[in-house]
Structure 1
Amino acid sequence: MTRPAIRPGRAIAVFLKTCLAGLLAAATLYVVICAFPEPAFAYRSSYQNYHVWSDRPIPGEITDVLDDVTRRLRTSSLHERAVPVEIFFCNDDWRLWLYGRHFHARMGGAADVWLTRQVFIRASDIPANRILPPEGRPLADADQRPLSYFIAHEITHVDVSRAFGRTVMLRYPRWLLEGYADYVGKAGDFDFDANRDLFALGTWALDHDRSGLYREFHLKVAYLLDRKGWTLQQVFANPPDEQELDARLRAAP
Structure 2
Amino acid sequence: MSPRLIRWMFRLSLAGFLATLAVYGALVAALAWPAPLFSHARTGGAITFHARDPLPPEAVRLGQEITALLSAAPLGAPAPVDVWLVPEGPLVGLFFSGSPRASGLTYPVVAPAHVFLRHADIPANRLVRDGRAVPPPRTLGYYLVHEITHLQLAAHVGRWRIVRMPRWINEGYADYVALGPAPPAMVARGLAGLPLPAVEFGTYARERVCVTLALTHLAGGPEALFALDAELPADRPCPVLPEFGIALAGGRP
Category of TM-score, reference length = shorter chain: 0.7 to 0.9
Among candidates 193, 196, 206, match of residue 187 of structure 2: 196
- Structure 2 gap ranges (5+): 241-245
Displacement, 1:206? 6.0
CA–CA separation in structure 2 for the residues paired with 1:212 and 1:145: 6
Among candidates 164, 167, 181, match of residue 171 of structure 1: 164
CA–CA separation in structure 2 for the residues paired with 1:198 and 1:137: 28
Q: Is the 8 A contact 2:138 2:202 kept in 1?
A: no
TM-score (norm 1): 0.83
Q: CA RMSD in A?
A: 2.7
CA–CA separation in structure 2 for the residues paired with 1:238 and 1:191: 20
Specify the code of the residue in structure 1 equivalent to 2:75. Answer: L
Displacement, 1:74? 3.6
Displacement, 1:236? 1.4
Among candidates 76, 79, 96, match of residue 76 of structure 2: 79
Q: Which residue of 1 aligns with 2:211?
A: 221
Q: Is the 8 A contact 2:68 2:77 kept in 1?
A: no
- Relative to structure 1, the CA distance from residue 215 to residue 70 in structure 2 (aligned partners, 3 Å threshold; closer, same or farther) is same
- Relative to structure 1, the CA distance from residue 99 to residue 168 in structure 2 (aligned partners, 3 Å threshold; closer, same or farther) is farther
1:205 aligns with 2:196: yes
- Structure 1 gap ranges (5+): none
Write out per-residue CA displacement over residues 212-241 of structure 1, whole angstroms, 9 at most, x where no aligned residue: 920100111111113545411111123445
Specify the code of the residue in structure 2 equivalent to 1:114. Answer: V
The structure showing larger relative contact order (alpha-carbon pairs under 8 Å, at least 6 residues apart) is 1
1:66 aligns with 2:63: yes
CA–CA separation in structure 2 for the residues paired with 1:25 and 1:137: 38
CA–CA separation in structure 2 for the residues paired with 1:138 and 1:249: 39
Q: Percent identity?
A: 26
Displacement, 1:196? 1.7
Q: Which residue of 1 aligns with 2:107?
A: 112
CA–CA separation in structure 1 for the residues paired with 2:88 and 2:10: 41
The secondary structure found in structure 2 opposite 1:107 is coil
Q: Which residue of 1 aligns with 2:243?
A: none
The secondary structure found in structure 1 opposite 2:94 is helix
CA–CA separation in structure 2 for the residues paired with 1:86 and 1:232: 26
Write out per-residue CA displacement over residues 74-133 of structure 1, whole angstroms, 9 at most, x where no aligned residue: 45322334x2111111122432331234151x2120112011220011121111100112
The secondary structure found in structure 2 opposite 1:51 is strand
CA–CA separation in structure 2 for the residues paired with 1:202 and 1:70: 35
Specify the code of the residue in structure 2 equivalent to 1:67. Answer: Q
- Relative to structure 1, the CA distance from residue 93 to residue 178 in structure 2 (aligned partners, 3 Å threshold; closer, same or farther) is farther
- Relative to structure 1, the CA distance from residue 127 to residue 216 in structure 2 (aligned partners, 3 Å threshold; closer, same or farther) is same
Write out per-residue CA displacement over residues 32-78 of structure 1, whole angstroms, 9 at most, x where no aligned residue: 22221011111111222221101222111113322331343145322
Aligned pairs (5 A) from 1:15-164: 15-81=12-78, 83-102=79-98, 104=100, 106-117=101-112, 118-133=114-129, 135-136=130-131, 139=134, 142-164=135-157
Displacement, 1:177? 0.1
Q: Is the 8 A contact 2:71 2:77 kept in 1?
A: no
